[in-house]
Structure 1
Amino acid sequence: MSAGSTYERLLSGSQSGGLEHADGGGVPSPPDPGRLITQLSDEVGRLEEHLGRRADPAALERLKRRAEHALREVVDHGADARLGPRDMASLEAVVHSDGSRPVLFVEDDFFDVTAPTAANWAASLSRIQAELRTVCRAVGRVNDPGALLGYQGTAWAIDDGVVVTNYHVLEAISTHPSRTDGEFGGELKPGVAVDFGAEVGGGPSNRVFRISRVLGVGRAGAPEHAHPTIPRINFDGLDLAVLELDRVSGRQFPTPVQVARGDDPATHGALASRGRSVYLVGFPGSAASTRPDVFAELFAGVKGVKRLTPGVLTEGRGEVADDARHWIISHDASTLGGSSGSVVVDLEAEGRKVLGLHFAGVPDRVNWAHGLEGATLELASAIPGWRSP
């Protein structure tokens, strides 16, 4: 699906509200640029009030101009719209502000219920409040004191004092990293830690744990399976690292999340299916991103805070091209140009089963995650005492 057709679908479908599935019927009306730009301005105004600071006026005007241009391109040309990275960044901001795929601040381990952009998803998210709070508490920012932004990605608790993140995040917080047959070679940088607070406004300060060692890493993909056009993408590999945290006297590790397993006799490894509603929790933003972070441009210095983004699985396990191992899924939740390591959680049923580990995307709203039902054996071999269901 092209970027133009994807945005046309999201921006048109948002006018009807509610959860959107990939097979939704009916013919949506075309996007209304005037209405959408007004909603974008209203959302920026709400953020100014919420954060207690004003958006950069010049950045806001640039955003509105780019958004109007990109919207006209989608309206006039649909699937054939020609969209550059900044066009798509502005459309991302519109999608966030109209409620199609909002980006919601996590506050007090829950989503910002005052955000008008949450309206289409509020009922579904509120229904799983207890489970959602457990997931939000279990997600942390991978701090790196030497990094440009001060952090490198997201990790989340999968066992007591054990977290999962991407291998490429581990590479960024290590010196001389390498991997062979699930074993890691290299040394962790000084001071790297996981901060399970890091919410907008500061959040709890007593949830920081240093990373002590690497328990295991996913396999590297065979070179002949490298993606033909996207650097460092290889669906034959597993972009995963399992890390152990140092205990801190008087502090408890977060409660681990529940992971959907391929050996669960109740689900037979088939939860991560096309059209299933999901939500991601993580720390969007990346200095190396190919898509500008509009929020960071508007509110310089306010970044690296925990956010929640709902969406839909656009491809289930076994449906992604060139995924011979059946451990890749795709989703259309907003990732703001970099959410490496974010947790992908089932929004349906009980709303607490982790379906995937986000690892990559391209600027036309194709976002990939490892479907963890397909990586059960690899996780079990890296996590001491990880039991069968």
Structure 2
Amino acid sequence: MAKASETGLTAQRLLKRLALPAPVLRLEGAGGTAPAGPVTDPRQRLEAARRLLAQLAAGTPDVDEAVVDRIIRDAEEALRKLDGDGEQAELRTGEILGLEAVIESDGSRPVLFVQDGTIDLQTPELNEGLGTYWREDAGRHLKNIERVVASVGAVQLPAFNNKRFGTAFVIAPGLVMTNRHVLEEAAQLVGGVWKWKYVVEVDFRGEYQRTEEHRFPLGEVLFTGPDAIERRVDFSHLDIAIIRVGGDQGKLPPPLTFERSVERVAVRAGPQPPIYVVGFPAQPFIQPPVQPPIQPPIQPDDVGQAPPQAGHEYEEVLERLYRKRYGSKRWSPGLVDAGAGQLAEDERGWIMSHDASTLAGNSGSCVVDFGETGERVVGLHFGGRPRVENWAHVVAALQHPLSGVEGIEWVEGPVETTTETISDNPECRAPSSTG
């Protein structure tokens, strides 16, 4: 069972993750509806997760389907406790992991492969169960989504069978942005100059079940955050790198635009801001912070010092079920949980958290507005804890450190400050809550 001091925090986090996406609120009309209970449609979510997990297990020889059944049973018990006791619910480790598996698998945060430069609006992930809540916005913003995914590439090592270990995206003519911790995996700082240890490329295709490539060599490192990351998360460190791209610049995808206002991802009263992430999840190598803003439900065991905790096999099963998703370009929507300065440990005011399904990778992925524009970059993903939360730098909060980088296009547009959509036309905007 989780420690008593963590019980309320764990239950609170799970209840928050059980919330339905913001599009539900918009689709229910301007008149609004009565708030739902703490656990929304638990049977629907359990059944959706059961179907997906069973389907994955059937096609994965090294997964015991009996363990999948236990995951569902533990999740069901966790939901029963949360419905009855709310934030005071006392959950066993297996129940916590089981419920997190359901949240990951129930379709409320779908994960779509990018193929042929687009996402499939007819895929079951957007047309069945909870995934339908993203369908309208995905269709409305499809052209902008296609523009974004074209400018996102995989960071890879040609000498190692094109092993992918991060994501980068075009931010200005000839320049891409990724994380400093991605850079540190393939380069070292010598006398104030970054030297590549290997030939490194960025491939702007990298699609699932597709062979087409669009590769460019990475060259001079123009800018990084000043502090070494060294595979650790520290909210006071700027985990960013800007790198010049070689090759035929005329064939490089166009730069993405950056959101200038931090209010775009601020979490206020009303629906949380919707976003989506485009990237190439790889096997994780960055570690959680020693004292994270929110303690995870369990800590990794010290090797050789303690037996595995109850429920650990669930993590192994989920890894096997989802591992085929690593390495290919993916699109995943979600909600902002906290904006710049809204996390307790974000003293620099440049971190956001979001709940899009990034599994265990996506370092260097772009986080994109999914509300007003569908194409404006609002964040640079750098880390997180699988099935718990994800962290990104808020790009609008980085305008000063990035002021010396030429060619970045900063744009500021209307920000939704009520539960109603605000039009680009000032005369058509919904009245604010202040009148």
TM-score where L is the length of structure 2: 0.71
Q: Which residue is equivalent to 2:170?
A: 157
Look up the equivalent residue of 1:201 and give its one-letter code.
Answer: Q
2:35 matched residue in structure 1: 26
Aligned-residue offset at 1:123: 0.6
Q: Pick from 197, 203, 206: which aligns with 1:195?
A: 203
Change (3 A) 1:285 1:277: same
Residue 347 of structure 1 pairs with residue 355 of structure 2 = no
The reply on whether 1:127 has 2:140 as its aligned counterpart is yes
Distance in 2 (alpha carbons) for counterparts of 1:24 and 1:244:
50
Residue aligning to 2:257? 258
Q: By how many angstroms is 1:209 displaced?
A: 1.1
Corresponding position: 1:7 with 2:29: no
Deviations 1:78-104 (A, max 9, x none): 5445465x8766545433442321122
Take 2:353 and 2:157, find their aligned partners in 1: how far apart are those partners? 28
After superposition, what is the alpha-carbon deviation per residue over 1:54-97, rounded to whole angstroms, capped at 9, x for unaligned? 3336255534432432442343255445465x876654543344
**Unpaired runs of at least 5, structure 2:** 1-7, 127-131, 288-299, 301-314, 412-435
Given the alignment, which residue of 152, 177, 180 partners 1:139? 152
- Is the CA contact 2:258–2:409 (under 8 Å) kept in the aligned structure 1? no
Per-residue deviation at 1:373? 0.6
The answer to whether the 8 Å contact 1:340/1:359 transfers is: yes
Secondary structure at 2:77 match in 1 = helix
Q: Residues of 1 paired with 2:254 and 2:190: CA distance?
A: 30
1:73 correspondence with 2:78? yes
1:40 paired with 2:49, answer: yes
Letter in 2 for 1:258: T
1:141-175 alpha-carbon deviations (Å, 9 max, x no partner): 1113577992211111111221101111111122x
Deviations along 1:126-147, one digit per CA (max 9) or x if unpaired, are: 1011111011111111113577
Q: Which amino acid aligns with 1:65?
A: R
Kindly indicate whether the alpha-carbon contact (under 8 Å) linking 1:3 and 1:83 is maintained by their aligned counterparts in 2. Answer: no
Post-superposition CA distance 1:5-28 (Å, at most 9, x none): 3333443647x95679xx996132
CA distance in structure 1 between the partners assigned to 2:199 and 2:285 by the alignment: 22
For structure 1, the 5+ residue unaligned runs are 262-266
Residue in structure 1 matched with residue 346 of structure 2 by the alignment: 323
User: What is the rounded CA distance, in whole Å, between the counterparts of 1:388 and 1:123 in structure 2?
Assistant: 27
2:122 matched residue in structure 1: 114
Q: Aligned residue for 1:384?
A: 406
Say whether the 8 Å CA contact 1:344–1:356 is kept in structure 2: yes
TM-aligned CA deviation for residue 346 of structure 1? 0.7
Distance 1:293 1:137, change over 3 A: farther
CA contact (8 A) 1:194 1:209 kept: yes
Amino acid of the structure 2 residue aligned with 1:138: S
Q: For the residues of structure 1 that align with 2:190 and 2:40, how far apart are their CA atoms?
A: 48
Evaluate the alpha carbon distance shift between residue 370 and residue 287 of structure 1 in structure 2; reply closer, same or farther with a 3 A threshold: closer
Q: Given residue 73 of structure 2, which amino acid in structure 1 is its aligned partner?
A: E
2:113 match: 105
- Note closer, same or farther for the CA distance 1:128–1:142 as it changes in structure 2 (3 Å cut): same
Q: Which residue of 2 aligns with 1:277?
A: 274
* Number of the residue aligned with 1:358: 381
Contact 1:219 1:238 in 2 (8 A): yes
Deviations 1:25-64, CA, capped at 9 Å, x for gaps:
613264666644432343357779xxxx933362555344
- Measure, in 2, the Cα distance between the counterparts of 1:39 and 1:367: 23
Distance 2:406 2:157 in 1: 26
Pair 1:54-2:59 in alignment? yes
With over 3 angstroms needed to count, the CA separation of the structure-2 counterparts of 1:143 and 1:344, relative to structure 1, is same
Check the 8 A contact 2:78/2:95 in 1, yes or no: no
Q: For structure 1, which segment, 359-368 or 23-32, has the greater mean C-alpha deviation from structure 2 after superposition?
A: 23-32
Rounded to whole Å, the distance in 2 between the matches of 1:311 and 1:12 is: 11
Counterpart contact for 1:345–1:353, Cα < 8 Å: yes
- 1:332 touches 1:366 (CA, 8 Å); kept in 2? yes
* SS of corresponding position for 1:214: strand
Describe the SS at the equivalent of 1:270: helix
Q: How far apart are the structure 2 equivalents of 1:114 and 1:258?
A: 28
How far residue 297 of structure 1 moved from its aligned partner, in angstroms, is 0.9
RMSD (CA atoms): 3.6
What does residue 264 of structure 1 align with?
none
Q: Match for 2:257: what amino acid?
A: Q
Confirm or deny: 8 A CA contact 2:359 2:386 kept in the other structure: no
Separation (CA, whole Å) in 2 of partners of 1:24 and 1:204: 48
* Paired letter, 2:107: G
Larger radius of gyration: 2
Letter in 2 for 1:169: V
What SS is found at the alignment partner of 2:265?
coil
Q: 1:143 to 1:24 in 2, by over 3 A?
A: farther
Aligned partners of 2:316 and 2:380: how far apart in 1? 21
CA contact (8 A) 2:257 2:410 kept: no
Corresponding pairs, count: 360
Contact map agreement 1:18 1:120 (CA 8 A) in 2: no
Change (3 A) 1:350 1:160: same
